[in-house]
Structure 1
């Protein structure tokens, strides 16, 4: 079952952020990784991962880390999909009308098609 884990990590710069992202992404069972927060100090992990082991690994490799939130990832996705469905406009379908005549262009009458795709049939007259 996929979990949503939020871990706050003290990261000094971009090098620490990329190191934390690489460490979390390399962990087995991770589906997605994002940076969140105003100063991009929170790592949001979605997947089937042990949150305590992941937090301890970030403490060892990156710096001080604190486990903020552990929750179910599906609840967040369901809420988002319900909200998105409400925002979509509902299409209005009007009954259609057929304004053309089928196959008028490619007719095979005595004179043939005007575009030349079906030439005029050969004349019955044997003199010409």
Structure 2
């Protein structure tokens, strides 16, 4: 599931902004990153399968200060799984008794042809 992560980082100038963005975009699972916040000191990262703790620690090591502000699921497409109806198979077994083999077929309750009997003798 896609997540939007906001991390507050010390960004003093254009050089530090581009450095922080390069680190964020190079991290595995990140699809996009941008600068946000009122004072432009936050990095907003969107991605699928992003390890938020490792990303924050990496930014802290490279930039000097990084604090995780929020993690939220991105409301995107929800995939609806279509469940196939269970196909009912008749139960067939053979009976050997007295020398003549008999085959019995049992259809489940609502899938048999004759409504008066659910066991058919062949």
4+ residue segments displaced more than 3 Å: none
* CA–CA separation in structure 2 for the residues paired with 1:34 and 1:74: 18
* CA–CA separation in structure 1 for the residues paired with 2:64 and 2:45: 17
Q: Higher strand fraction: Structure 1 or Structure 2?
A: 2
Q: Higher helix fraction: Structure 1 or Structure 2?
A: 1
2:40 aligned counterpart, secondary structure: coil
Partners of 1:11 and 1:63 within 8 A in 2: no
1:74 aligned counterpart, secondary structure: coil
* CA–CA separation in structure 1 for the residues paired with 2:8 and 2:67: 5
Task: Structure 1: give runs of 5+ residues left out of the alignment.
Answer: 78-128
Max radius of gyration: which structure? 1
* CA–CA separation in structure 1 for the residues paired with 2:20 and 2:43: 8
> Does residue 4 of structure 2 align to residue 4 of structure 1?
yes
The structural deviation recorded for 1:39 is: 2.2
1:4 aligned counterpart, secondary structure: strand
Match of 2:46 in 1: 46
RMSD after superposition? 1.7
Provide TM-score, normalisation by structure 1. 0.56
Provide TM-score, normalisation by structure 2. 0.59
Task: Structure 2: give runs of 5+ residues left out of the alignment.
Answer: 78-122
